[in-house]
Amino acid sequence: MRTDTPPTVRLEDYRPSDHLIDRVELDVRLDPHDTRVTARLAVRPNPAGRPGAPLILDGDDLRLLALDLDGQSLAPAAFRVAPSALTLPEPPQRPFTLTIETRLDPTANTKLMGLYRSNGVYCTQCEADGFRRITYFLDRPDVMSIYTTRIEAEEAAAPVLLGNGNPVEAGRIEGTGRHFAVWHDPHPKPAYLFALVGGRLDRVSSTFTTMDGRAVELAVYVEPGKGDRAAYALDAVERSMAWDERTFGRAYDLDVFNVVAVSDFNMGAMENKGLNIFNDKYVLASPDTATDADYAAIEAIIAHEYFHNWSGNRVTCRDWFQLCLKEGLTVFRDQEFSSDMRSRDVHRIGEVRTLRARQFPEDAGPLAHPVRPKRYAEINNFYTATVYEKGAEIVRMLRTLIGERAFRAGMDRYFAENDGTAATVEDFLRAFEAETGRDLSRFAEWYERPGTPRVAISGHYDAGAQTYSLELRQTRPGAGSDAPPVVIPIRLGLIGQDGPLDDARSSRVTDGVFVFDRWDDVLTIENVATAPVPSLFRGFSAPVRVDMAMDDTERLTLLRHDTDGFNRWEAAQRVAARLMIGALRGEATEVGADAFAAALDSFLDARALADPAFAALVLSLPSESDLADDIGSEIDPDAIHAARYDLRTRLGTALTDRLHALRDALSEPAGTPFSPDAASAGRRALRNAALDLIAAADPTGGAACADAQIHSAGNMTDRLAGLSTLALLPGETREAAFASFAERYADEPLVLDKWFAIQAMIPEDGTVERVRRLQEHPAFAMTNPNRVRALVGSFALANPTQFNRSDGAGFTLVADTVLALDRANPQIAARLMTAFGSWRRLEPVRRGMAESALRRILATPGLSRDVTDIAGRSLG
Ligand code: 0A1
Ligand code: ZN
């Protein structure tokens, strides 16, 4: 804990380390409260560093027990030690070995960084800077070492001992009840990729043969008794390995690949070399405990961590400013994987929804930052939607600009040229420049400044000339007045009243893509036989906001005829958003709710059963936060909620027959075995989207229908959908359903998380009280990040009317939780605080309430650096 202003780290100050550590030999003797770590470090001066510089090893909360240099203990005058650093003012100017012994208490480590215990299992989390909580080290990603790790523990408490790399040796220490295992990782890596695990765990395993014919032993480790819930994750590992070989020519490079699931974890998962450690939420799945969305998330995150083996581990980051180099690229890779495993259009819509829900608001608020930040006070606060999701969009735009073949060749070159090194964004782009001969310096601007570009477009048809011209103008809100225009790939096509106008062409459109890279431009398309409707930004070809002068009847033409799935969905979303925003502003729209319902009805008639997953997305109206983001300022969440509720009711009423018929047509005969595949999940999604609208139109009938579904459901997807629908319908049926759900799943923490979350999201006055009550529930624990996120995170991030209550009670609840949490786990406290990120866009009363909650947090003595940073920037 610290109260001084945190120092700022700047990209422009980067310089190479003065020393390197070639080899690390760790001896870790695990004990619940008295773990001993002996680190033997092979240190040498870095030829690229400053000669004669002091050696300053990072530490965080460390206690030094012993220190020697080349086997000789060091005189007290030869070093300085503090919990946060170990300094040798005059280290030898030659290679030497430093041996450091530290003492740790993993049970007391509630920050979940460094070595800690989760449900009795010893595990580590070292990204971004947790290794310095294990031993003194040059804890920076450009210092890469070869690790050998000996782990020792009481055999009964920790029969499983895992490390990075390959297993070398294991054995008992006779007469002590203890045993050990030695692991060696031949690939040099930064400290943030170090990991070890020790505990009682069940193992499920298989073998994968790489494209070059090597056998790899795969294993997933989970809590005892939960082995049957690891099968899907193991299968996802195998599919990820095969996909990365097929798609990017990347093979795995060790004899074993281990995944371990733990229940206390700050993030989703971690790509430690050969030993991925996961939040168990992203491993464990059974039909009775996991929803379709959970299965999809497991598949995506297993793939993400596995793909890091190349994009992150073999090629790592020079410094933390380059975080997007591994994260944006790896998100892009996992999105491509999921698209190949599932429906590409459906997946793309999901990606864009996430981007708009999380990244757009971030980019428009006080926490906005470039995809490659230029400075930070606390790096752990930069694992953001901007770095991850916008970072992935940049990689996707690059592929759109240079084409798939050149993209693949550039990736091969990037991996080949940077393998085994710590690279930069420039190194990445250079590989594609070398491959294509193009200058990507203007494209690189996407990494440099915050803010979502806006593109305003209007179209003009000239019947005489048979041309259609698009006038385009870009602006860059939030990027600063000196910002140049960005390079925006616009994938486009023209649609006529009966379908695509395939004869239209322009010399400035290549493979369906127009590159818009000036402030203003006019694109003229020739050979356009009839007045077209433009289909722009197909597949969401750039992460921008588009203001297109287009009326709703034209959008409905796109819903009917566009060949681009994303834009068909987008068309329906735009019409729905216009209807709701029009209603709350008291403005009329040219297409009313009835006409929209009629268009949806004929869409459902034609396509719902052919592609239920897609139809479910078309039926899901823009969320309340989407609408808030569209409105942009002076936001009144109650008015938005009311407008959305009203449209759901009208659509549900107009479509009742169709929705019931769909539910019948999609229902599965009792006893059908559950399958998490995309097609089955799509049918469930559409049935449940229909239920949502039915209940909006007819609360009594809807409640009965939802309650019946909860009881008859043969899987968690349907049971939870029933419960979510019922959650919006106050009354005894709802409370009874909550009670019996809690009873049924009393011993299932991951399912109880869903129960906490659903209640936290109820858009009713009583919810603040309910959440406070649930914080006292025996199953709630401030020390478990999943539980905090489920209850308080869902409230803060997914309950706009109650979090933003005009009396400030929602802000107070979250602020109280942040302060209580900050002592134990500052990272989670800081994440929770990001819910305040859009406070300036609220109407004045709520804005004032949010500001005082933020000021109260910032004024609290002893605040962590993590929370100080977020609170400070939010107010700044
Ligand atoms: N590299 C991981 C994310 C991650 C970052 C920090 C952590 O520390 C608490 C944990 C995980 C990923 O992208 O999956
Ligand atoms: Zn990642």
Nearest bound ligand to the CA of residue 329: 2
- Nearest atom (ligand 1) to Cα of 112: 9
Nearest bound ligand to the CA of residue 311: 2
Do you know the residue count of the chain? 876
Please tell me whether the peptide bond between 483 and the residue prior to it is cis, using omega within 30 degrees of 0.
Answer: no
Other residues' Cβ atoms within 10 Å of the Cβ of residue 212: 9
Hey, whose CA ends up nearest to atom 12 of ligand 1? 270
Model confidence pLDDT, tens digit, residues 186-234: 999 999 999 999 999 999 999 999 999 999 999 999 999 999 999 999 9
Hey, whose CA ends up nearest to atom 8 of ligand 1? 127
Residue 503's H or E segment, with its range, is: none
Hey, whose CA ends up nearest to atom 10 of ligand 1? 267
Please tell me the distance from the alpha carbon of residue 796 to that of residue 833, in angstroms, as a whole number.
9
Alpha-helical regions (H) of 357-461: 360-364, 385, 391-402, 404-418, 425-436
Tokens 């690059």 locate to 398
Is 305 a residue of the active site? yes
Nearest bound ligand to the CA of residue 131: 1
Tokens 């989760």 locate to 118
Instruction: Say which amino acid occupies 413.
Output: R
Q: What is the ipTM of this complex?
A: 0.98
268 lines ligand 1 (CB under 6 A): yes
Q: In the numeric block, which tokens belong to residue 413?
A: 């070159």
Other residues' Cβ atoms within 10 Å of the Cβ of residue 1: 11
| Cβ atoms of 359 and 368 closer than 8 Å | no
- Report the pLDDT value the prediction gives residue 671, as an integer from 0 to 100: 84
Q: In the numeric block, which tokens belong to residue 731?
A: 């009354």
| Cβ atoms of 792 and 832 closer than 8 Å | yes
Model confidence pLDDT, tens digit, residues 20-57: 999 999 999 999 999 999 999 999 999 999 999 999 99
Please tell me the distance from the alpha carbon of residue 239 to that of residue 867, in angstroms, as a whole number.
39
| Cβ atoms of 196 and 149 closer than 8 Å | yes
Cα of 280 to ligand 2 centre, how many Å? 16
- Nearest atom (ligand 1) to Cα of 327: 13
Cα of 873 to ligand 1 centre, how many Å? 22
334 lines ligand 1 (CB under 6 A): no
- Nearest atom (ligand 1) to Cα of 130: 8
Cα of 260 to ligand 1 centre, how many Å? 14
Please tell me the distance from the alpha carbon of residue 579 to that of residue 574, in angstroms, as a whole number.
9
Cα of 126 to ligand 1 centre, how many Å? 9
- The answer for residues whose C-beta is within 8 angstroms of residue 859's C-beta and 6 or more apart is none
269 lines ligand 1 (CB under 6 A): yes
3-state secondary structure at position 330: helix
- Report the pLDDT value the prediction gives residue 403, as an integer from 0 to 100: 98
- pLDDT-derived band at 5 (thresholds 50, 70, 90) equals low
End-to-end CA distance of the chain: 22
| Cβ atoms of 493 and 563 closer than 8 Å | yes
Model confidence pLDDT, tens digit, residues 710-748: 999 999 999 999 999 999 999 999 999 999 999 999 999
Please state whether beta strands 35-45 and 19-29 pair in parallel, antiparallel, or not at all (unpaired). Answer: antiparallel
Following CA atoms 436, 437, 441, 446 in sequence, which dihedral angle do they give, to the nearest 10 degrees? -10
Please state whether beta strands 145-154 and 19-29 pair in parallel, antiparallel, or not at all (unpaired). Answer: parallel
- Decide: residue 475, CB within 10 A, 0-12 exposed, 13-18 middle, 19+ buried: middle
* Mean pLDDT of the region 352-359: 98
Model confidence pLDDT, tens digit, residues 248-267: 999 999 999 999 999 999 99
Please tell me the distance from the alpha carbon of residue 779 to that of residue 685, in angstroms, as a whole number.
30
3-state secondary structure at position 670: coil
- Nearest atom (ligand 1) to Cα of 301: 14
Of the listed 127, 305, 327, 624, which one is catalytic? 305
Please tell me the distance from the alpha carbon of residue 147 to that of residue 296, in angstroms, as a whole number.
34
Tokens 């916008």 locate to 390
Could you say which DSSP state residue 459 is in? E
Q: In the numeric block, which tokens belong to residue 719?
A: 């049971």
Evaluate if residue 1 carries a pLDDT over 60: no
Cα of 266 to ligand 1 centre, how many Å? 8
